[in-house]
């Protein structure tokens, strides 16, 4: 469940470069960036960068499935029935995953890594391919959050599952970094981690941060619509960046854990806006799995501010949930 970058349209004032700072770098197989307003009391850039990179390094040590020595990778090597003490941030994400799984009737699941490997999207995969039905059936007994259990500070597995937190770890990391920035006196910033972002405060000229949601095209970058955010996070999931085709059929990296197969509907992307980037991150994946109709019903029931972009012929049609319209207006009016 990869992450999709949005276009960050930052309109900077000429002559205000001494009050606007930025830095970034590689993380989680992609990149992070921070743009912030330097005001009185805000620590030097070097200190802020060290703080941010410290959080990113801790997340990598705890939750990466791409490094064998991470705590999550060590848990994934345990046999069925085993338990292991896990850091509080890991347990928090597992609990959140359980909530999303329950509310979506299993559309969201943190144990899909064997499916990703089988189809060629995972850290240990050997190339993208369409597996046989028998291969999928053999993996399915290892898929399901019902196999996970939290006992105090330990994470336990009833079956030999492999947990993958990639669907929510970037959003959770944005929340952690944003909270730390607030503690350090940074009150105006735009933070992005592998495409999940949060905007707080205003730019030096007093205008809001302008964020463009990308049109779901694989061949070029194109703006679908623009939002103004303050105190809100944005997450977008889609099928237009990480996929392969066989005999003219597209196979996305987004899996339906209930079927063991990539999603196969006309929903190209879904964006969710929420004060919690963790929640936005998980919900965008959930709605992408559910598809446009079931996803809209879920968004209406749960009060999710979501924007759905569906394929229609050679183009796209955009639909917004009631919560999204209440906050931003109808898409055609933006």
Would you say residue 229 lies in a domain?
no
What's the pLDDT score for residue 119? 84
Percent of the chain with pLDDT over 90: 71
Q: Is the pLDDT of residue 4 over 50?
A: no
Range of the domain at 134: 65-166
Would you say residue 105 lies in a domain?
yes
* More confident: 246 or 316: 316
Q: What CATH number does residue 113 fall under?
A: 1.10.3980.10
Distance of CA 239 to the CA centre of its chain: 13
Would you say residue 197 lies in a domain?
no
Mean pLDDT of 133-138: 95
What's the pLDDT score for residue 10? 40
Q: Please give the Cα distance from 68 to 126 (Å, whole number).
A: 17
Domain count, the chain: 1
Q: Is the pLDDT of residue 294 over 80?
A: yes
* More confident: 65 or 82: 82
Would you say residue 319 lies in a domain?
no
Q: What is the pLDDT of residues 183-233, one digit of tens each?
A: 999 999 999 999 999 999 999 989 999 998 877 765 666 677 889 999 999
Question: Dihedral angle at the C-alpha atoms of 316, 282, 236, 186, nearest 10 degrees?
Answer: 150
Q: Please give the Cα distance from 81 to 114 (Å, whole number).
A: 18
User: Coil, helix or strand for 194?
Assistant: coil
Q: Please give the Cα distance from 29 to 169 (Å, whole number).
A: 13
Which residue, among 64, 69, 62, has the nearest Cα to 86 in the 3D structure? 62
Q: Please give the Cα distance from 210 to 230 (Å, whole number).
A: 10
Would you say residue 260 lies in a domain?
no
Q: Around Cβ 206, how many Cβ atoms within 10 Å? A: 9
Name the token pair of 162.
Answer: 């492999």
Question: Dihedral angle at the C-alpha atoms of 114, 118, 120, 125, nearest 10 degrees?
Answer: 70
Would you say residue 22 lies in a domain?
no
Would you say residue 75 lies in a domain?
yes
Q: What is the pLDDT of residues 65-74, one digit of tens each?
A: 889 999 999 9
* More confident: 84 or 216: 84
Would you say residue 178 lies in a domain?
no
User: Coil, helix or strand for 44?
Assistant: coil
To the question of pTM greater than 0.75 for the whole model, the response is: yes
């Amino acid at each position: 469940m990869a992450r999709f970058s949005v276009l960050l349209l930052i309109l900077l004032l000429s002559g205000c470069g001494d009050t606007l700072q930025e830095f970034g770098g590689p993380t989680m197989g992609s990149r992070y960036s921070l743009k912030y307003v330097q005001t009185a009391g805000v620590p030097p850039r070097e200190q802020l960068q060290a703080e941010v990179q410290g959080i990113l390094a801790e997340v990598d040590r705890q939750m990466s499935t791409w490094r064998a020595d991470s705590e999550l990778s060590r848990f994934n090597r345990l046999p069925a029935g085993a338990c292991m003490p896990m850091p509080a941030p890991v347990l928090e994400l597992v609990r959140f995953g359980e909530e999303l799984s329950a509310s979506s009737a299993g559309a969201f699941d943190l144990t899909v890594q064997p499916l990703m490997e089988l189809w060629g999207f995972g850290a240990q995969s050997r190339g993208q391919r369409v597996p046989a039905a028998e291969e999928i059936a053999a993996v399915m007994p290892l898929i399901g959050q019902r196999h996970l259990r939290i006992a105090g500070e330990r994470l336990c597995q009833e079956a030999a599952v492999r947990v993958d937190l990639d669907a929510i770890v970037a959003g959770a990391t944005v929340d952690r970094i944003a909270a730390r920035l607030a503690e350090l006196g940074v009150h105006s910033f735009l933070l992005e981690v592998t495409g999940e972002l949060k905007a707080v405060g205003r730019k030096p000229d007093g205008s809001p941060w302008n964020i463009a949601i990308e049109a779901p095209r694989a061949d070029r970058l194109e703006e679908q619509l623009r939002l103004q955010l303050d105190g809100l996070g944005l997450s977008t999931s889609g099928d237009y960046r990480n996929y392969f085709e066989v005999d003219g059929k597209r196979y996305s990296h987004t899996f339906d854990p209930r079927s063991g197969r990539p999603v196969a509907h006309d929903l190209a992307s879904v964006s969710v806006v929420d004060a919690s980037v963790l929640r936005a991150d998980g919900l965008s994946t959930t709605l992408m799995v559910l598809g446009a109709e079931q996803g809209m019903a879920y968004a209406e029931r749960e009060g999710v501010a979501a924007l759905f972009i569906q394929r229609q012929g050679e183009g796209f049609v955009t639909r917004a949930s009631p919560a999204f319209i209440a906050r931003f207006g109808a898409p055609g009016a933006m």
